[in-house]
Structure 1
Amino acid sequence: MRLILVLFFSSIFLSSFGQEDYSVDDKKAIKYYEVALQSYNMKSLDAALDKLNSAIEREPDFIEAFLLSFEIYIEKGEYGAAEKSLLKALTIDADFFPNGHFFFAELKYKNGDYKTAKVAYEKFLTFRRTNPNMQDEATRKLTNCDFALSAMEDPVPFEPVNLGEGVNSEHSEYFASLTTDDKNIYFTRRLPTNIKNGEQEDFYRSSFNGDWQKAEEVFGINTPLNEGAPFISPDGSLFFFVACADNTGEYGPDRNGYGSCDIFYSTRIGETWSKPNNIGSSINTVHWETQPSFSSDGRTLYFIRGLKLRDGTISKEDIWMSTLDDFGAWSKAVKVSDVINTPQKESSVLIHPDSQTLYFTSNGHPGMGGEDIFLSRKQKDGTWGTPVNLGYPINTYRNENSITVSANGRLAYFASNREGGYGGLDLYSFELAEGYRPMKVSYMEGKVIDKDNGRPLGAHFELIDLETEEVVVESFSNGKDGTFLVSIPEGRDYALNVEHRGYLFYSENFSLAESSSNEPYKKRIELSPIKKGESVVLRNVFYATNSFELNPKSRAELNTLISFLNKNYRLKVEISGHTDNVGSALANKTLSDNRASAVRDYLIKEGIPKERLISKGYGAEKPIAENDTEEGRAQNRRTEFKVLSVE
């Protein structure tokens, strides 16, 4: 209990009294007290209590004896008895020891008795000559008392459901992480070891098939040492976790660290995981790094860093972040934001697959006491908004640990040792109230193959916001089987580009600005090897109606084409324009010519040599769908590029 950290004030107070200063006159009672004080200083706590009881029997209003009893009971962890002793001292004389009101408020606050705590904090603040740090703490916790009392009058829906015996066991399960499709949950399980009183933390995975299936150990990552705080990337391709050095400085077989606890990662290879690697010195330090959370755009890692003090304790925990550049290097980590981080403690963090909502745990923002769960939403200017407490009874006077939120935002997962579980900490889910949900996120799953021979390909994905040209998701398909899983935040229009060296890139358009579908998108993507005559439909090149003026939303796709042409600098290509059959043949031919020329001009302006490009309009001559439906006509209105030569 943090209360112990401030009790040295009362120790100074108690030891500073001379006999003439005591609140009572009975010499025998005073003698009992002084012997008790000597025993206390020698850490003979029970002997000290025995003498204090004798002193109080002779002098029932012996304030100093009650105050020393209070401090001894605190050190023994007997908080109920401590509260009774302190309350008795304050009842005898409320002004005798002003700090006592602060300590009494702390006891009540930490047990969720906010009304009583508030009165005691307010009483303490009426005294002028008290410690400034304690005054600041009392003021901060008064704010929390007001918040808690208000929150308890307006509780949020909260009906936790145990995940069942497939996940939970007689041991403790905690720190859950989900894949975007919500079909796999990874978590930490604490198991007994052969070492006396020893425990071992390992990772397990359970898959969902109507209910959660029997969890299996995650092979390739678990070692005889402890691993914790797992995070599976939204696409399921990367596994981040934390390993801490043992008392010999070891992190596990073939693992090296920088000191204390470090973040490691492993890459999926088919159904197994690669040998874990330390994420590096841009993120890991001699201090304490934990709770990794990786954004769905494949660019930003959020984590907790705390300073490791000489005595081994951890202090000043804050949320930090590092970004991954195009060459696979991590930037030097920086603190996220002073809007989120506080002078107190931030102990867990989760970036949702929407890349806009950050869930975290803190005891530095107005809350219920202890550590509460909050969310912050990214603003249009890229900054983080004011944190919002998830409310009561999700948050209580106890410490609430980290939560995981499903991609669709409907369910949240957390660990609890509440009654009715299987033993220790169990994992539970609950439906998250609407106001605390992230942006809606759908997902796309499928496979990337070679168009000619069906061979699986490990291809690179980019999902680009057409409005902002921001890369929202970046990922790779599995190199062994070609499968992929990509999260797609709803409410926007996207360009999806898939590429692999030696192949033409694949272009797709996703219009999710008004989507509310809970169904995933399923795609079989066939990449064509680069060869003469092969073509690609540029599905994200747009024009004003009946015009050849390029819509600004076309830039993302055209820049992808520029990148492709720069990587394949020997190619010569034809840019072709096509229309539906509505209108005259001449008008359609002219429009398609002008549109193809507009694309060619853009490419030349951006540095592609004009000798590598020709443009041609075909009007309605080369349809790829029937023109008797609007859907067919929309497919026929298109821009393509075709490989003319590869030398």
Structure 2
Amino acid sequence: MSRFLLLALLLLAQVAAAQNVEFDKDNFRSDKDGLKEAQREVKTGDEWYDMDPPRYEQALPHYLAAQKFNPSNARLNLRIGDCYLHSGYKPRALPYLQKAYQLNADIDPRIHYLLGQGLHLNAKWTEAIAEYKAAQPATAGKNTAQLTAAITKKIKECENGLKLEKKPSRVFIDNIGAAINSPYADYGAVISADESVILFTSRRDNSTGKERDPETGGFFEDIYQSTRTASGWSAARNLGKPVNNEGHDATVGLAPDGQRMLVYVEDNGGDLQEAELRGAVWKKPEKMGARINSKYHESSAAYTPDGRSLYFVSDKQGGLGSRDIYKVEIEGRGPAVNLGPTINTPYGEEGVFLHPDGKTMYFSSEGHNSMGGYDIFKSVFENGKWSEPENLGWPINTPDDDVFFVISASGRHGYYSSFRDDGLGSKDIYQITFLGAEKPPVLSQEDQLLASRAQPVKEASLAPPVPIATAQVTILKGVVTDEASKQPLEATIDVVDNSRNELIASFRANAQSGRYLVSLPSGVNYGIVARQEGYLFHSENFDLPAGAAYSEVVKDIALKKLDVGVKVVLNNIFFDFDKASLRKESTAELERLQKLMVETPALRLEISGHTDNVGKAEYNKDLSQRRAKAVVDYLVSKGIDKGRLTFAGYGDTQPVATNNTKGGRQLNRRTEFKVLGK
């Protein structure tokens, strides 16, 4: 009997603990003033909550103040939970929704669906599925089909989450630090290809207009910038005018060299603009054409590495879902092209980013196999089509929205914004470090070479290293200067496909620093040409075979003025081995030389050939002379007066580097010209 009595008392205690308490004086006779204040807070919260559309962010602090006074009101807990579901702290909704259900299981027809959302956002996949199933509408109503479809999708997302969490991605996710993050919302990070510059959007109290958005209550968005130093990221600075103005200004894209930026502005329903960095100053953003912007909402975009095309997101009519990704040539005339059903889904796509390798795209989607909200996906363009998007997995993706992901050219670091427990503000920027595949276990590190019952003969064997996959791209960067004065030059950098004799892209070095950066995807024989009016061109060659791993090359370029006696190496003149026949990859360089002579009618040149010291000196001299003559013959065939050209072969007599190394010998094998007169 005593055991039954104890159980009954426990049950009564649970019922009492779960009793709904209304905000009336009968329940709070001893604290009438506290009750009045709590009622005022509830009333104010309701005014914000009942607006059309509801102002959840403004309602929440009032509801929380009232909840401190009375934590056992079902309606109040439900509304707090609903406010959190519409905030940046969505997982916090769950205990309030559970409390509301505990106090009154019939508090709201949506309660099971809301509980499902709360559990879903806390990665409680199985429990969330059960609540979603309990939320299925029992009878056919006006919105039954729509609700059923939404619940079915939520259940599928939870099933995806269960699978993805079992095989987490090998990554470190670290807060990027207080130099960039603030107590306010920081997000939308974009980076230069070499991670030397980061720009991002923030809602800080030092915004340009210092005004608050009347709809959200937060400060207007502004764009901030930080640079990487030897000790880490520099303190972020507001770009100020003319990039930022009194309204919303947000980063959405950055060219790989950091010299051009795409900006989102609230104009014409939401448009994209472009700003250019001239020296140390960002110029006023300019509107992009009607082939990109429309009367609808264009929200994010990314440059291709050559800067000629743009991928962007729009909700304009004719798409496959609520928001789609399109591609358009910036300077072309053709319309923007929808990327099609492999990428775009019946749901929303957002936050597109193209890797500097020119073929790997990252974007966020509510479709595909998302585990909830927007997840980040990866797709590769090969053989004329996009690959099936791959979910980046847990813990990069979460049940909440994961958007605006960018990644360095090396593929080692990604950046995005997230709400996390170690955050400094409402939303922070995080760095993701990709660790690569896990090293397989090795049971024995020795090879049994010869076995005998007495003493086996063994040899130590190192376990093979597990390579970390890197992007197939080379980053070439450096500073362009005047050779004589050493002052920086705002030179043009042309990137040429030598095998096709095709100009791929043109960039400009920074007007103040002379710095340049170009990304070179693998699989192309590149000619890199720096040119500036009043100077002789300078060429470099980068022959990158398909599949070549990521590398970063620093090449400073000193341009020479056109003076008698000046020598210039023609790094993109190619000959077959041990022959003097020009290869077709030499065409672009030869045409540059021809153009120089046409533009400078009095110019006289000596074309010279040089070799390393491998082989007999007499043979090397003859080969180098025949190669120099081949260049002269080409120019003459294109109409250049033979009297303006001489040729000479110097063999190995004029080395520019040691012949004791492979690299040095390669530098010595060259074709160059010397100015004889102008």
TM-score normalised by structure 2 residue count: 0.68
Q: Distance in 2 between matches of 1:383 and 1:571?
A: 49
- Bigger drift between 520-529 and 182-191 goes to 520-529
Is 1:279 matched with 2:306? no
Q: Per the alignment, in what secondary structure is the counterpart of residue 200 of structure 1?
A: coil
Q: Which residue of 2 aligns with 1:150?
A: 163
Q: Distance in 1 between matches of 2:280 and 2:111?
A: 60
Preserved CA contact (<8 Å) 2:410 2:550 = no
Q: Per the alignment, in what secondary structure is the counterpart of residue 221 of structure 2?
A: strand
Q: Which residue of 1 aligns with 2:555?
A: 523
Preserved CA contact (<8 Å) 1:296 1:474 = no
Q: How big is the shift at 1:565?
A: 5.4
Q: Judging changes above 3 Å, is the alpha-carbon distance between structure 1 residues 205 and 575 closer, same or farther for their aligned structure 2 residues?
A: same
Is 1:242 matched with 2:264? yes
Q: Distance in 2 between matches of 1:562 and 1:316?
A: 54
Q: How big is the shift at 1:160?
A: 2.0
Q: Judging changes above 3 Å, is the alpha-carbon distance between structure 1 residues 590 and 111 closer, same or farther for their aligned structure 2 residues?
A: same
Q: Per the alignment, in what secondary structure is the counterpart of residue 220 of structure 2?
A: strand
- 1:253-332 pair list within 5 angstroms: 259-307=268-316, 316-325=322-331, 332=335
Q: How big is the shift at 1:485?
A: 3.3
Q: How big is the shift at 1:399?
A: 1.4
Q: Distance in 2 between matches of 1:83 and 1:226?
A: 37
Q: Which residue of 1 aligns with 2:649?
A: 618
Q: Judging changes above 3 Å, is the alpha-carbon distance between structure 1 residues 158 and 559 closer, same or farther for their aligned structure 2 residues?
A: same
Q: How big is the shift at 1:360?
A: 0.5
- 1:91-110 pair list within 5 angstroms: none
Q: 2:573 aligns with which of 541, 549, 558?
A: 541
Deviations 1:359-418 (A, max 9, x none): 100112122122110011232x45332211101121122211211212322121111222
Is 1:175 matched with 2:196? no
Q: How big is the shift at 1:112?
A: 5.0
Q: How big is the shift at 1:212?
A: 2.5
Deviations 1:555-602 (A, max 9, x none): 454454456556667756554333345445553344234323444555
Deviations 1:150-191 (A, max 9, x none): 212111134321122211111110001122332322111113
**AA partner of residue 339 (structure 1):** T
Preserved CA contact (<8 Å) 1:356 1:438 = no
Q: Distance in 1 between matches of 2:602 and 2:333?
A: 33
Q: Judging changes above 3 Å, is the alpha-carbon distance between structure 1 residues 569 and 244 closer, same or farther for their aligned structure 2 residues?
A: farther
Q: Distance in 2 between matches of 1:161 and 1:558?
A: 51
- 1:85-484 pair list within 5 angstroms: 114-115=125-126, 144-191=157-204, 193-195=210-212, 197=217, 199-209=219-229, 210-220=231-241, 221-245=243-267, 259-307=268-316, 316-325=322-331, 332-379=335-382, 381-434=383-436, 439=471, 441-464=473-496, 474-484=506-516
Preserved CA contact (<8 Å) 1:439 1:490 = no
Q: How big is the shift at 1:506?
A: 0.4
Deviations 1:220-251 (A, max 9, x none): 31111110134332212112211113xxxxxx
Preserved CA contact (<8 Å) 2:310 2:328 = yes
Q: Per the alignment, in what secondary structure is the counterpart of residue 315 of structure 2?
A: strand
Q: Distance in 1 between matches of 2:600 and 2:291?
A: 33
Deviations 1:460-500 (A, max 9, x none): 11344556667666421122332323345567654321111
Preserved CA contact (<8 Å) 1:580 1:637 = yes
- 1:595-606 pair list within 5 angstroms: 595-600=627-632
Q: Distance in 1 between matches of 2:412 and 2:402?
A: 19
Is 1:502 matched with 2:534? yes
Q: Distance in 2 between matches of 1:471 and 1:83?
A: 65
Q: Per the alignment, in what secondary structure is the counterpart of residue 149 of structure 1?
A: helix
**AA partner of residue 231 (structure 1):** G
Q: Distance in 1 between matches of 2:418 and 2:117?
A: 24
**AA partner of residue 173 (structure 1):** D
Q: How big is the shift at 1:353?
A: 2.2
Q: Distance in 1 between matches of 2:645 and 2:101?
A: 90
CA RMSD across the alignment? 4.4
Preserved CA contact (<8 Å) 1:581 1:627 = no
Q: Which residue of 2 aligns with 1:634?
A: 666
Q: Distance in 2 between matches of 1:175 and 1:517?
A: 26
Q: Distance in 2 between matches of 1:114 and 1:330?
A: 48
Preserved CA contact (<8 Å) 1:354 1:438 = no
Preserved CA contact (<8 Å) 2:321 2:345 = no
- 1:9-24 pair list within 5 angstroms: none
Q: Distance in 2 between matches of 1:161 and 1:101?
A: 35
Q: Percent identity over the alignment?
A: 31
Q: Which residue of 1 aligns with 2:444?
A: none
Q: Which residue of 2 aligns with 1:18?
A: none
Q: Which residue of 1 aligns with 2:36?
A: none
**AA partner of residue 222 (structure 1):** N
**AA partner of residue 262 (structure 2):** F
Q: Distance in 2 between matches of 1:289 and 1:410?
A: 30
Deviations 1:263-322 (A, max 9, x none): 12222222111222112223222222222222332222222112389xxxx973111223
Q: Distance in 2 between matches of 1:100 and 1:594?
A: 87
Q: Judging changes above 3 Å, is the alpha-carbon distance between structure 1 residues 231 and 491 closer, same or farther for their aligned structure 2 residues?
A: same
Q: Distance in 2 between matches of 1:75 and 1:455?
A: 58
Question: How many pairs align?
Answer: 545
Q: Judging changes above 3 Å, is the alpha-carbon distance between structure 1 residues 278 and 131 closer, same or farther for their aligned structure 2 residues?
A: same
Q: How big is the shift at 1:431?
A: 1.1
Preserved CA contact (<8 Å) 2:120 2:128 = yes
**AA partner of residue 215 (structure 1):** A
Q: Judging changes above 3 Å, is the alpha-carbon distance between structure 1 residues 101 and 468 closer, same or farther for their aligned structure 2 residues?
A: farther
Q: Distance in 1 between matches of 2:262 and 2:472?
A: 24
Preserved CA contact (<8 Å) 1:357 1:375 = yes
**AA partner of residue 541 (structure 2):** N
Is 1:609 matched with 2:642? no
Preserved CA contact (<8 Å) 1:591 1:619 = no
Q: Judging changes above 3 Å, is the alpha-carbon distance between structure 1 residues 585 and 266 closer, same or farther for their aligned structure 2 residues?
A: same
**AA partner of residue 611 (structure 1):** D
Q: Judging changes above 3 Å, is the alpha-carbon distance between structure 1 residues 563 and 410 closer, same or farther for their aligned structure 2 residues?
A: farther
Q: Distance in 1 between matches of 2:424 and 2:246?
A: 25
Q: Distance in 2 between matches of 1:357 and 1:517?
A: 14
